[in-house]
Amino acid sequence: MEFKDYYATLGVQRSATQDEIKRAYRKLARKFHPDVSKEADAESRFKDVAEAHEALIDPERRAAYDDISQRHARGETFEPPPGWDSGFEFSGRGGAGPGGQQAPSAEDFSAFFESIFGRGGPGARPAAGGRRQAPGSDHHAKVMIDLEDSYRGARRTISLRVPVVDLQGHVSLHDRQLEVNIPPGVREGQHLRLAGQGGPGHGGEPAGDLYLEIALKPHPQFRVDGRDVYVDLPVSPWEAALGATVAAPTPSGEVHLTIPAGSTQGRKLRLKGRGLPGKPPGDLYAVLTLTLPRAGSDAAQAAYTALRAAFPDYDPRVAQEG
């Protein structure tokens, strides 16, 4: 198990005050919060930061962590023997914010964190034990699908790791597989509801629902904007100038597309209804990208020379009419 330096994660000295720890956490949390950050690894960085904060902001946990990290620094193993923590009394105050909102990643704290503090996070509260009658809670997870899945719909097997609390209040992670029909037309950031697949109900109450938040895998060719899809379509100067019919890729297969004569760089050709399906379906835009052939051969050079002769007044640095 990897030793985690929580002070380094937050960028504070080991002697930092609780206020300094809080300030460092807030600053990093704003930087890496997955809802606001565009950093590539924001989600995992935020988890690290939140875990470090969770460990250090509570004086009891911090004292326990400091003890272990001192032994670690002396070269001793940091993995605590069973019962080592009997000298520390955890009041069981989890990271639940005001109003009982779950800490962001409580279920996902590292094995290192759990080896020291147990699954003390609010996500692991053995609430199941004493409940009399209550409907199951709704669960949330993220899934990543391909653009093609959204076009056609897809059947996907989704693996979830869910914490399960037994009668003694012990928590373990269970792998759970679900086979799901993904309806066509689902878009980035939307949610799928799987009725009755959330947490189990108690006392005869129904199970909760499972919500899957959709992320679209970035596609090497197509850009997605809501329901609309964009694709760059390379064309030669003469295809753009004289018009042509060319094959254009779409996520639902190749189509033939008429390039109007007199087209210019960046012109968008709309294929109505060829975007993501839905009511109404989105559109597909082919964005013309002019490419120039190399003047590699004598014939090609002659052609460019003739072109120059044909446009004696053309100055590309001066805006052209139309």
Partner 1 sequence: MADNSSDVIDAVIVEEEIVFSLSGLCQAAGASPAQVLSLVDEGVLQPDGDAPQQWAFTGPSLRATRTALRLNADLALGTAGAALVLDLLEEIAALRARLRRAGLE
CB of 67 to partner 1, least distance (A): 28
How many Cβ atoms from other residues are within 10 Å of residue 276's Cβ? Answer: 24
CB of 55 to partner 1, least distance (A): 16
Nearer to partner 1 (CB atom), residue 71 or residue 156: 156
Contact 52, 25 (CB under 8 A): yes
Question: How far, in Å, CA of 220 to CA of 268, rounded?
Answer: 19
Nearer to partner 1 (CB atom), residue 11 or residue 196: 196
CB of 57 to partner 1, least distance (A): 12
CA torsion 124-129-133-137 (nearest 10°) is 10
Sites of contact with partner 1 (CB under 8 A): 26, 29-30, 33, 35-36, 46, 50, 97-104, 135, 137-138, 140, 155, 162, 164, 176-183, 185-187, 189-197, 199-200, 207-209, 211-213, 223, 225-226, 228, 230, 232, 266, 278-279, 285, 287
Length of the chain measured in residues: 322
CB of 229 to partner 1, least distance (A): 11
3 state SS of 233: strand
CB of 95 to partner 1, least distance (A): 9
Contact 248, 254 (CB under 8 A): yes
Q: Identify whether 280 is preceded by a cis peptide bond (ω within 30 of 0).
A: yes
Query: Which amino acid appears at position 226 of this protein?
Result: G
Strands (DSSP E) contained in 97-236 are 139-145, 154-165, 171-182, 191-194, 210-216, 222-225, 228-235
